[in-house]
Amino acid sequence: MLSAISSCACRASHACFILILLSLILTVFADLDNSSSPTSVFRSRPDLHAPIVTLELLRPELVSPGYVFLAPYRNIDPGPYIYDNDGQLIWSGAGTHGASTAHNPHVCEYQGRDHLCFFQGNQHHGYARGHGVIMDSSYRVVKTIEAAGSASPTDMHEFRLVKSGKSALVTIYQPRPYDLGDYGIRPGLGWIMDSVFQEIDVQTGNLIFEWRSTDHISPSFSYTLAASTDTSGDGLSNDSPWDYFHINSIDKNANGDYLISARHMAAVYKISGQDGHIIWELNGANPTFLNINLHFSSQHHALWLCENVTHTILSLFDNASNTFNITNDQSRGMIVAIDHTERTATMIRNWGAPEPEGILAGSQGNLQLLPNRNVFIGWGDHAYYSEHLDSGEAVMYGKLAYMGSNVMIYRCSKYNWVATPLTAPALWTYSRTGANDSDMLLYTSWNGATEVRSWNFYASDTVSGPFQLVGKKPKVSFETEFRLQFMKAWCFAEAIDGHGNPLRRSAVVRTFVPSEAIESGCDDRGCNAVPPLPEGKFFEILIPETNNRGANYTRGYITSTYYPSLPFLSRTGGATRGRVAGSRCHKHNRGAGCTNPGIDGIHV
C-alpha cells in the first residue's frame, strides 16, 4: 500500500494547521465587555476589534512559515483576518471593507498572481447566501463571483478557484417543493433543500457545470432525518426545508471529475464531470469500498491528494459528531487511502486536537497539508487552530475564543502572502501635558502590510515643517509604540521594508493634548474612556462659549497635504536626494519657498 501511495502523483495544496503552549498576551480593554472572545484595541486604529489569539508554541522551531488565514463569525467584528505565527494581527478585513460575515479566506491563483479569495454574505442556519470575493495583494476587490443559471445565491461551504483561476467551484443551497409523503410529511407538499454545486467561468460568469443532489441521490439514504437536528430543517416550509444532503466541499481533478463531501450522508462522492453520475461512494449508506479501519461522520473538507489507476489518496476532517449523534470520542483530521483493485478504504494518518481528551467539533472544520509535510487543522465550532508534524505531534495551538462564546470559524488555513495595501499607515500621537520638555507617545500601524520591518518617525513644531527624523523602531506587532523624549506638535510615521526602503507614510497628524476638563482621566499613555454613570444619572451636555461657532474653524491642518509622499527610488533601491514626486525643488533652484523632499507645502 505505501509503495503504491509513494508512486502516486500527489497534488498537495498549501496548508493550515496549528497548535499552542506559549501564551501571547495582548492588551485587552474591558470596555468591550467581550470576556469570552477577547479583542485587541489599537490606539492608531480604534475602529478595529481584532480577536486576540491565545497561542501555545509547543515546538516553535518546527512551525512552518506563513500566515494564518481565518474568518471568525458571531464575534464583535466578523470578517476575514490574517495573523502571523506569533498570533499577531496582520490584517483585519473588517477594518478594510467593514465588518460582515465571511468564510474561508485563502490564497488563490488568479491571472497568474496570488490573490485573496473568500466567501462573503449573510449567515443562515447551517448555510449562507452571498458571493465569492477575489482581492489582489493591495486588498482591492477585483472580481466577485455570483451563482449562474437559475440557482439561489452561492453558499459559504465552498468557493475556490481551479484551472489557474479560470473557473470557480461554488456550493448552493436551493429549497425546492418535494413529495415527502413517504417520510411522514403529509398530507400536502413538503420542502427539501437541494445541495447544488456549480463550476463557473470567472471572466464571463457563464455556467460550465451544475450538479444537483436530488437528481442523483435519494433522500432515503440520509443519516439526518427531518426535524432531527438544529440544521436539518423540518421539511414543512420553504423557510425550513429538509436538508437531507448538506454538501460542504468540492474538489476537481485533472480528468475533470469532482469530489464532494455530504455531511448528512456521512459520505464522500466522486462525481463524473461528463454526466454527473456517481463514480464511487466512500462510507455512507451505499459504500463502494470495504472500510478496513475507517469510520467517519458529519465530515468536512474532502480533498484529493493524489490519484492513479489503482489508488486514490484523500484528506478530510472527521467531525464524528453533529452535536446530536456521536461516532467517535473526538474529531480528527485524517488521510484515507482507497485501493481500487481490492475495493478497500484505509485510514493511514490521523491527527487529533492537542487537548488531553481531544475535541468534538459538532460542525465545520478542515485539514490542510502544508508544503513542509506539516498539517494545519481548523476546529470548526471551536474557534481553534493547530499545526502538527506528520507524526501527529502538535507544534502550535491557537484559540480565538473560549468555549461557550458561540464564536466559530468555518475553515482556517496557512499560506505565504505578500501584500502592500492601497491605504496609508495610521498614526495617533499623544502628550499628557503638551509641555516642550515632556514625553510624548506615537502609535502607528498599517492594516494588511506584510513587508514592514521597522518604522521611522518624523516630527516638527509646525504643520509645514521642516520635519526631522526623531526616531526609529523595529516592528514586532500590529501596532508599534514609540516614546519621544520631547514634545512636537506635528508628526508622521514612515514604514520601512527589510532592505531599508521606505514603503509609505502616514498622514501628518497633530499631537493630542488633553484639556483641563478631561486630564484627570488621562495618564502618560493616553486617556481612559469616560466612566459609566450610575443608573438614572445623565451627563449635562454643554456648548462651550467660543468666539467662533464653526465658520472657518481650523485645527491647523493643510488639507491638500495630509499625506507626505515618498522620494523617488533610484535603480539601486535607494532614495534619490533632492528630488521628489510633486516637489518644486531642483538641484539648481533651492531658494526661499522651495520644498525639500517631502510634499508641497511641507519641509522634510
Residue type, 600: D
**Rounded to two decimals, what is the model's pTM?**
0.89
User: For the segment 148-188, what is each residue's pLDDT rounded down to a tens digit?
Assistant: 998 899 999 999 999 999 999 999 999 999 999 999 999 99
At residue 60, the 3 state secondary structure works out as: helix
Total residue length of the chain = 604
- Which residue reads 465569492 in cell numbers? 132
Q: Are 582 and 600 in contact (CB under 8 A)?
A: yes
User: Residue 13: which pLDDT band, with cuts at 50, 70 and 90?
Assistant: very low
What percentage of the chain has pLDDT greater than the value 70?
87
Q: Are 486 and 529 in contact (CB under 8 A)?
A: no
What percentage of the chain has pLDDT greater than the value 90?
81
Give the per-residue pLDDT at 561.
79
User: Residue 544: which pLDDT band, with cuts at 50, 70 and 90?
Assistant: confident
Q: Output the CA–CA distances (angstroms, integers) from residue 290 to 5, 267, 315, in the order listed.
A: 18, 13, 18
Is residue 15 pLDDT above 50, yes or no?
Answer: no
Q: What is the 3 state secondary structure string of 429-495?
A: EECCCCCCCCCEEEEEECCCCCCCCEEEEEEECCCCCCCEEEEEEECCCCCEEEEECCCCCEEEEEE
How far apart are alpha carbons 280 and 289 in whole angstroms? 8
Joined together, the cell numbers standing for residue 22 give 506559549
DSSP string, 71-88: EEESSSS-S-EEE-TTS-
Q: What is the mean pLDDT of residues 420-446?
A: 97
Joined together, the cell numbers standing for residue 522 give 488621562
Joined together, the cell numbers standing for residue 327 give 461516532
Give the per-residue pLDDT at 579.
31
Joined together, the cell numbers standing for residue 111 give 491571472
How far apart are alpha carbons 129 and 19 in whole angstroms? 32
Give the per-residue pLDDT at 473.
99
- Among 14-28, 260-274, 338-352, the least confident range: 14-28
How far apart are alpha carbons 601 and 288 in whole angstroms? 75
The whole-chain average pLDDT of the chain stands at 89
Q: What is the mean pLDDT of residues 76-85?
A: 97
Is residue 576 pLDDT above 80, yes or no?
Answer: no
Q: Are 315 and 366 in contact (CB under 8 A)?
A: no
Is residue 4 pLDDT above 90, yes or no?
Answer: no
What CATH class is the domain 426-566? mainly beta
User: Residue 29: which pLDDT band, with cuts at 50, 70 and 90?
Assistant: very low
User: For the segment 298-350, what is each residue's pLDDT rounded down to a tens digit?
Assistant: 999 999 999 999 999 999 999 999 999 999 999 999 999 999 999 999 999 99
- Among 102-111, 212-221, 400-409, 552-561, the least confident range: 552-561
User: For the segment 31-63, what is each residue's pLDDT rounded down to a tens digit?
Assistant: 334 567 899 999 999 999 999 999 999 999 999
Joined together, the cell numbers standing for residue 513 give 493634548
Backbone angles phi, psi at 263, to 5 degrees: -60, -45
Is residue 545 pLDDT above 60, yes or no?
Answer: yes
- Provide the β-strand partners of residue 367: 377
Residues whose CB falls within 8 Å of the CB of residue 463, separated by 6 or more in sequence, listed in order: 489, 490, 508, 510, 556, 557, 558, 602
